[in-house]
Amino acid sequence: MEEQAATADIIFMEEMPTTELKKIRIIPLKLDERIVELVEKMETLIEKMNYGSIENTKKISNIILDLSTILERVQKTSANKEIFDRINDIYYKLDSTQLDDEKIYEIGNRIEVIEGKIDNAINSLTEISSRALPDTGERSAAYLDEISNELASTLASQAGRLEGIEGQITQLASSTDDISNTLSGFSFEQLKDKLQMLSEIDRRSAYLSDIADELTATLAKESSRMDRLEKYIDQTSIESENLTETIEQVKNFVNKTKKRYSRVENDILSELKILKESTTAMIDRIIIDVLEDGDRRLSELITLTGLSAAMIEKRLKELAEVRVRLRGEGTDVFCSLIR
């Protein structure tokens, strides 16, 4: 995992081909020494990931801390080769995960960049309005001002919508935090399964970042176009037909910008809906996994997941109703599994 860092939403990318993985060979060291070596590598990874300013970096650290805790437990309790092999497998999984340094700022900082581009576009329009030639006629000048104000309003409303999207992304990250907090309480096989579940969310988050990139590029392009339009207004003659042509260009730009924003916004909201549904389904899987293990109880579930008791009870009730419809059993019978 050299020269790689974390994403804002802990983006676990596709695994590299097996031939490219850096395999960790079992070397002739005492088992405890090898475990200590792995723990130290985990701690080094944590240090690399903690430098980011994005709040979601905390989740990455938590997952690696969970893995480090498992290593420490094994070091204290066992010298069994099977467990040692499992530790190696965990490390293979972590080592093969690509964590791109740029991605750590995509959700947070890229939204700030987008908002900055919006501000630049609004400022550019303000300057266009203020530099309109004074003797082109009050009616034409007022029309140009109306068009530019409409565009400024459109861009400003999009800034507000982006803030709302950022809030939904933060909420989604909180849901994945809940899932990641369960890792330390499961066996190796369960841990591996949960990592695979998390990777699906993270791949979708990567796609969401690509949409943000597209929006940033669109704003940059249109901001540049407004600069050229501003120069055009400065250079044009005071003849009314030239000003009318300029006004039509601004009007067309407003309409195209509205369509582009609407498309990008719909894509982002659609992806967020899928992500939330995936998160809910994964939480359900975790709850069912725990319920089907006769040694678990609801209190242990709350401790493992970090979810609120009210949230878990709500999901249990919903799941119980589904099971009633499927099996014809009573809700009380199902709920007795956790008592």
Q: Where is the domain boundary, 102, 126, 161? A: 102
**Domain check: are 126 and 265 in the same one?**
yes
**Domain check: are 117 and 46 in the same one?**
no
**Domain check: are 62 and 110 in the same one?**
no
Residue 100 clears pLDDT 60, i.e. is over it: no
DSSP 173-192: HHHHHHHHTTGGGS-HHHHH
Where residue 281 falls among pLDDT bands split at 50, 70, 90?
low
Is 228 within a domain?
yes
**Domain check: are 115 and 139 in the same one?**
yes
Is 284 within a domain?
no
Q: Report the C-alpha gap between 161 and 169 in whole angstroms.
A: 12
Residue 224 clears pLDDT 50, i.e. is over it: yes
DSSP 35-66: HHHHHHHHHHHHHHHTT--STTHHHHHHHHHH
Helices 240-291 and 188-235: crossing angle in degrees, nearest 10, is 170
Where residue 14 falls among pLDDT bands split at 50, 70, 90?
very low
- Phi (first) and psi of residue 162, to 5 degrees: -65, -35
Model confidence over 60-82: pLDDT tens digits?
445 555 555 555 555 554 445 55
Where residue 235 falls among pLDDT bands split at 50, 70, 90?
low
Is 180 within a domain?
yes
**Domain check: are 265 and 227 in the same one?**
yes
Phi-psi category of residue 122: left, alpha or beta, with phi > 0 → left and psi -120 to 50 → alpha: alpha
41-55, 156-170, 233-247: range with lowest mean pLDDT: 41-55
Rounded to 5°, the CA angle 157-213-223 comes to: 55
Residue 136 clears pLDDT 50, i.e. is over it: no
Residue 221 clears pLDDT 60, i.e. is over it: yes
Placement of tokens 């809700």 in the chain: 331
Residue 275, Cα to own-chain centre: how many angstroms?
Answer: 9
Is 168 within a domain?
yes
**Domain check: are 74 and 109 in the same one?**
no
Residue 143 clears pLDDT 60, i.e. is over it: no
What's the CATH number where 252 sits? 1.10.3160
Placement of tokens 């019978």 in the chain: 333
Residue 142 clears pLDDT 60, i.e. is over it: no
For the segment 315-337, the average pLDDT, to the nearest whole number, is 48
Model confidence over 293-305: pLDDT tens digits?
544 445 554 554 4
**What is the pLDDT, as a whole number, of residue 330?**
40
Placement of tokens 């725990």 in the chain: 290
**Domain check: are 233 and 193 in the same one?**
yes
Where residue 253 falls among pLDDT bands split at 50, 70, 90?
low
Residue 277 clears pLDDT 60, i.e. is over it: yes
- The total of structural domains in the chain comes to 2
For the segment 218-236, the average pLDDT, to the nearest whole number, is 59
Is 286 within a domain?
no
Residue 184 clears pLDDT 60, i.e. is over it: no
Distances in Å between the alpha carbon of 72 and those of 28, 41, 42, 187, 258? 20, 13, 11, 15, 55
Is 322 within a domain?
no
Residue 128 structural domain? 104-275
Per DSSP, the three-state class of 314 is: helix
**Domain check: are 91 and 110 in the same one?**
no
Model confidence over 21-50: pLDDT tens digits?
333 333 333 444 555 555 555 555 545 544
**Domain check: are 145 and 176 in the same one?**
yes
Q: Where is the domain boundary, 230, 248, 275? A: 275
Alpha-helical (H) ranges within 236-297 are: 240-291
**Domain check: are 133 and 224 in the same one?**
yes
**Domain check: are 166 and 232 in the same one?**
yes
Model confidence over 262-273: pLDDT tens digits?
666 566 666 666
Is 144 within a domain?
yes
Instruction: Please measure the distance between the N-terminal and C-terminal CA atoms of the chain and give it in whole angstroms.
Output: 44
Is 133 within a domain?
yes
**Domain check: are 164 and 228 in the same one?**
yes
Q: Where is the domain boundary, 236, 258, 275? A: 275
